[in-house]
Structure 1
Amino acid sequence: MHLGEPHTDDSLATRLNWLRAGVLGANDGIVSTAGLVVGVAGATLDSAPIATAGVAGLVAGAVSMALGEYVSVSSQRDTERALLAKERTELAEFPDQELDELTELYAAKGLTPATARRVAEELTAGDAFAAHADIELRIDPDALANPWHAAGASAVAFTAGSLLPLIAILLPPPGLRVAVTFVVVLLALAVTGALSARLGSAPAGRAIARLVCGGTVAMAVTFGIGQLVGMTVT
């Protein structure tokens, strides 16, 4: 048995989770910015208000996503550090009890009591703290989540998603803006839906349908509200 093997699996799972979070962040950027710019386009044909709203929404959304991830991951890392510190203290003060606990944990995985004891003793002799962090806490002390990385990844993902509807609505002539944006956004949502389904080993059809339908409803509603507001103001 090699103590490093579970870390390899955990690292792969962590990478997949980060990738899935990136896809979802991009999807949030696509939908929220698309709804914003399409809503403004429903109220006016002037490019300046549309661009202003789109850029403001992109920046605000990216900052919000980054801040949320930073706070969330910082809290998670603080909790993990506290658990690791507690484990170090317990190993220093109660080594025998911790050895018994490690034995019980391996026995619970299906090893015979004698084998579990031998494994626990060998791992404790090598690195007791690493052994407990792995089997008891399921934490890799050398691979704690970095809140700055999480914040940056979220901001980049959201920005990348937001740029699609923003570019799609500004480049075409006024009469085609909304139609082009609808097409670009729905295609982008189909792609993110397929990616998220593949990462989650789920059926792609349902994931794509949910995102495409949701995006369609969001843009239709905001466009309708924009038109109502535009008529009221004028």
Structure 2
Amino acid sequence: MRTRHRERHRLDRIGWLRAAVLGANDGILSTASLLVGVASAAQAGPSDIMIAGVAGLVAGAMSMGAGEYVSVSSQADSEKAELALESRELREDPTGEHKELTEIYVRRGLDRDLAHRVAEQLMAHDALEAHARDELGLSVTTAARPLQAAAASAVSFASGAILPILAVTLSTRELAAPVTVMVSLVGLAILGAASAGMAGAPVVRGVVRVLFWGALAMALTAAVGHLFGVAA
């Protein structure tokens, strides 16, 4: 009995996974840094800290969503322009495009006769798809999706930002900064491990990377809050 060979690739996750990981990481880190900075200021009260956290969540989520939408829309526009150009070239010079595709396959290791036949058959099936994939490096799997990226980024930012806000809410004024730092670092570590695992990357490297930059960012904002809070 033959067993089916199954491979679990993760390229179909690239679009939303990148935006979601970036959003959640930024949600935790930027909101925690903001709260730690405000909490480190001597004059800041509990209401000041909470207002700063909620304002950071709303502003950050909107900014991340809008930024992702604009960025990925620009990528989508570039992809559409390249496909339109390729489509015109296929109409105007199909022979030249066939030779171009043949040369691509030759460079990839096929002998010229086989490359010629492969290019011929693929162009007969769907010439634009063949050139988009093998000449331009575009595919349905990795195509830009602005709305998907924007939604994933905004929702994940808000989800990440809730963690340090809850930490501040459930702690005393004196412990607000250290509790927020500890809870946020745990959240960043979990996020780093999860995102690395989903992408098939080394987990330890992902965790160490987010912890290092997270700790550095919060330490700097705590120093700024303390400096200006005391100076005021």
TM-score normalised over the length of structure 2? 0.86
CA-to-partner distance for each residue in 1:140-192, whole Å, 9 max, x for gaps?
A: 36973221211111111111111111111112222332222122111111112
Distance 1:139 1:187 in 2: 38
Deviates more, 1:206-215 or 1:184-193: 206-215
Distance 1:167 1:51 in 2: 10
Over 3 Å counting, the alpha-carbon distance change for 1:198 and 1:136 in structure 2 is same
Distance 1:18 1:202 in 2: 17
Cα pair 1:63 1:155 within 8 Å, conserved:
yes
Q: In the alignment, which residue of structure 2 is the partner of 1:4?
A: none
Q: In the alignment, which residue of structure 2 is the partner of 1:21?
A: 19
Give the match's secondary structure for 2:109. coil
CA-to-partner distance for each residue in 1:112-162, whole Å, 9 max, x for gaps?
A: 111111111112222212221221112236973221211111111111111
Q: In the alignment, which residue of structure 2 is the partner of 1:32?
A: 30
Give the match's secondary structure for 2:175. helix
Deviates more, 1:175-184 or 1:194-203: 194-203
5+ residue gaps, structure 1 = 1-7
Kindly state the Cα deviation for residue 33 of structure 1 after the two structures are TM-superposed: 0.5
Deviates more, 1:116-125 or 1:86-95: 116-125
Aligned partner of 2:214: which letter?
Answer: G
Over 3 Å counting, the alpha-carbon distance change for 1:126 and 1:228 in structure 2 is closer
**2:112 is aligned with 1:113:** yes
TM-score normalised over the length of structure 1? 0.86
- Name whichever structure is richer in helix by fraction: 1
Distance 2:178 2:202 in 1: 29
Kindly state the Cα deviation for residue 94 of structure 1 after the two structures are TM-superposed: 0.6
Aligned partner of 1:60: which letter?
Answer: A
Distance 2:169 2:89 in 1: 61
Aligned partner of 2:29: which letter?
Answer: V
Kindly state the Cα deviation for residue 85 of structure 1 after the two structures are TM-superposed: 0.6
5+ residue gaps, structure 2 = 1-7
CA-to-partner distance for each residue in 1:65-102, whole Å, 9 max, x for gaps?
A: 11221111111111110111111111111111111112
Aligned partner of 2:183: which letter?
Answer: V
Cα pair 1:30 1:161 within 8 Å, conserved:
yes
Cα pair 2:60 2:157 within 8 Å, conserved:
yes
